[in-house]
Amino acid sequence: MIRAAPALALLAVALAACKAPPQTAKDAAAPSAPPSSATASSAPAAPAQPAHHYAFQNGDQYGYLSGAHGQPGQDPDADKPVMVRYLGMADGVYTIAEVQEGAVVVAQCSAPCQQVRIRGKDLDQTLDLNPNSIVYEALTDAMNGQLQVYKPRSR
């Protein structure tokens, strides 16, 4: 009896198809548009998400904004973009440099970048990489091929 249920359902569908009104020769010759095409063209397409995390690009430098950017009660420094330079990849190690108010901090990691080495003036440490950080966003952009290698300007 358990096997009869699928067979009965299939039989019911077949019988319903037989009860459909017959198609005339005129209807058969007329091309029919798929029903989804009318509804698909009337709905506006959602804007595509950017393939990168940076807010803007200035040549081969990239501006990243903190998650608190533009929120009330935030630290006034959260509105300032952090400028990042991608220094390239060597021996599987991705390197970026954050530049803010004349200070440079270099961050390096190897894919999958669960930890990052941070170096700067009086600073050299390895930390777990926070997926909500600008460093994570910039290194992800670098690994995904979204950043151009920074070329220092000659003076």
Report pTM.
0.63
Q: What is the pLDDT of residue 17?
A: 36
pLDDT at 101: 82
pLDDT in tens, the chain (155 residues): 444 433 333 333 333 333 344 444 444 444 444 444 444 455 666 666 568 999 999 999 999 998 754 555 556 666 789 999 999 999 999 999 998 788 899 999 999 999 999 999 999 999 999 999 999 999 999 999 999 999 988 76
Contact 149, 87 (CB under 8 A): yes
Alpha-carbon distance 139 to 134, whole Å? Answer: 8
For position 49, what pLDDT does the model report?
Answer: 59
Q: Residue 135: what pLDDT?
A: 95
